[in-house]
Amino acid sequence: MEELSHWIDGARVAGTSGRFADVYNPATGEVQARVPLASQAEMDDAVARAAKAQLAWGATNPQKRARVMMAAVGLINRDMDKLAEKLSSEHGKTFVDAKGDVQRGLEVIEYCIGAPQLLKGEYTDSAGPGIDMYSMRQPLGVVAGITPFNFPAMIPLWKMGPALACGNAMILKPSERDPSVPLMLAEIFKEAGLPDGVLQVVHGDKDAVDAILDNDTVQAVGFVGSTPIAQYIYARGCANGKRVQCFGGAKNHMIIMPDADMDQAADALIGAGYGAAGERCMAVSVAVPVGDGTADALRDRLVPKIEALKVGPWTAGDDVDYGPVVTAAAKDNILRLVETGVDQGAELVVDGRDFSLQGYENGFFVGPHLFDHVTTEMDIYRQEIFGPVLSMVRANSYDDAIGMAMDHEYGNGTAIFTRDGDTARDFAHRINIGMVGINVPIPVPLAYHTFGGWKKSGFGDLNQHGPDAFKFYTRTKTVTSRWPSGIKEGAAFNFKAMD
C-alpha cells in the first residue's frame, strides 16, 4: 500500500504525527493509500519555512513570477493525462471529467501569466506643488488554501495560481480523501522554477485546519467546502485577524419556462444534475418547471434519459456517464436523504436505491434518482444532497419560481431556460444569487471573471479567481512623495498643505 507524504521545501517529506487517513479507490471500496495527518507542530514548521522562502519570492519582480506560471501551464498540459488518471482513481469521476477538472484549474494559471498587468498600481502626477502620489500592490506574506475533495486539481490551482503570482508563499491543505494530485502539482511547480518552500502541501484534518487558523504568520485563508465548515473557518480566521474567503454549500435551481426548448432543457438537466455523480457545488439539484404542462413535458423527456445513464468505473472510458461517489459515508448520506424524500411524500419517479454494478459490488456507486412533486418544506429540497438526485418542484408562475430560488438559504448558482429576453433580463437583475445562467445550466465563470456565491454559499468580501483574487492576495500601499526642490518654508498644520 502506498504511503503518501507532505511537500515541504520542495521535496516529499514523511509525516511525523503518527496519524493517517485511508485513501480509497471509490470504484472498488478498497484502501489504496494512506495519507499522513499533520500535527500542529508540523504545520507550524511548514509555515515558518514558507515565511523564510517568501521574502525572496515576494521581492522577485512580477514578470519573473509570471514566467513560472507560463512554464507551469506547459508542464500541466504535458502531464494532463497522468494527472487525470490519478484524480479519477482517488475521486472516482470519469476520465473526461477529470481532465475537465484539471483544465478549469489550468485556465486560472493561464490568467495569472498576466500578473505584471494585474498588479499595477495607480499614479497621480502633481497631486500638489511638487507632490506625486502613487499606490502599489504588495503580497501579504504567507497565505493558506483549504480545498475540497470534489475538485482536487481545479480548486488547488485556483488558490495556488493567484497567491503565488502575487508574491506570496502558500500553505495548501488539500482534502485527505484524494490528496495525490495536489502533490503532483507541487512537483510541477518546482519543475517550472518555483523556489523551494514557496509552496507547501500539508495534509491533515481539523487539527491541521485549526493550526492554520491560529498561526499568526498566516495572513489569509481561502476555503471551499460545506457551509458549516465555511462558517467555522470564517469566524475563527476573522477572530484571529486574518483575511478570509470561504465558499460553502449550494442548492442550485434551474427554472424552466413554458416557452423553453424542452429537449434542450432536459439535456441540460442530465449533464448538470448527474455529471460527476452530482458532486459539484454548481450542480443543478432542483428543476423548477413553471406550470403543470411544462412539468409533464419535461418529466416525459427526463425519465428515459435518466434511465439510460451509464454508471461505472472511470476505467470503462467513454461507456460511462458518471462514476462512484467519493466514500461510503457519502453514499450512505445520499441514500438516507432519498429515503427521507420518500417518507415526506415526494414521488420517486426514477429509483436508483438498489443500483449495483457487477464486479464492483463494494464500490461507492449510487444510481440516478428523480423526484417529482417535491415541496419546499422537504429535506431533499432544503439540504445539499451532493449526489445524483434531481428534485422537481412545480411552480404555478414565474414569480413563484423565482421566489423559491430567492428564498433559499443558499445562493451559489442558478439558471433559467426561456426564449423570452424580457424574462431572462428580469431574472438576471432580480435574482439574489452569485452566478446566473441564461440557457446555460452550469454558469461557472471563466478565469478572467470571478467565482462566488451569495447568502450562505459565500463568506467574505472577495471572490475566487479573476481580478478579485489579485485583490484578495495583496494589500495596497499608497505613497505621497515630495522632494526638497520647491518646498515652501514654514510648518503645515492642516490637510490643505498640498494645495
> Which burial class, exposed, middle or buried, applies to 244 when counting CB atoms under 10 A from its CB (0-12, 13-18, 19+)?
buried
Closest CA to 449 of 22, 207, 174, 107: 107
Contact 305, 266 (CB under 8 A): yes
**Residue for grid cell 506560471:** 69
Helix axes 62-78, 80-91, angle to 10 degrees: 70
The single residue of 112, 166, 246, 281 carrying the catalytic annotation is: 281
| Number of other residues whose CB lies within 10 A of the CB of residue 487 | 11
Q: Are strands 6-8 and 11-13 parallel, antiparallel or unpaired?
A: antiparallel
Residue 489 backbone class (left: φ over 0; alpha: ψ -120 to 50; beta: rest): beta
Query: Distance between CA atoms of 240 and 13, rounded to whole angstroms?
Result: 29
* Beta carbons of 154 and 56 less than 8 angstroms apart: no
Helices (DSSP H) in 132-226: which residue ranges?
154-165, 180-191, 206-214
Helix (H) or strand (E) holding 374: none
Torsion of CA 344, 350, 354, 360, to 10 degrees: -130
Phi, psi of 39 (to 5 degrees): -85, 170
* Residue whose entry in the numeric block shows the C-alpha cell 462514476: 323
Whether 246 sits among the annotated catalytic residues: the reply is no
Q: Do 381 and 341 form a contact (C-beta atoms < 8 A)?
A: no
Say what the alpha-carbon torsion angle 239, 245, 251, 256 is, to the nearest 10 degrees: 140
CA-to-CA dists, residue 455 to 222, 400, 430, 437, 460, angstroms? 17, 20, 15, 18, 11
Q: Which residue has the cell 502506498?
A: 2
Residue type, 221: V
The Cα–Cα gap between 6 and 234 comes to 25
Strand bridging mode 474-482 / 131-139: antiparallel
Residues tagged active-site: 281
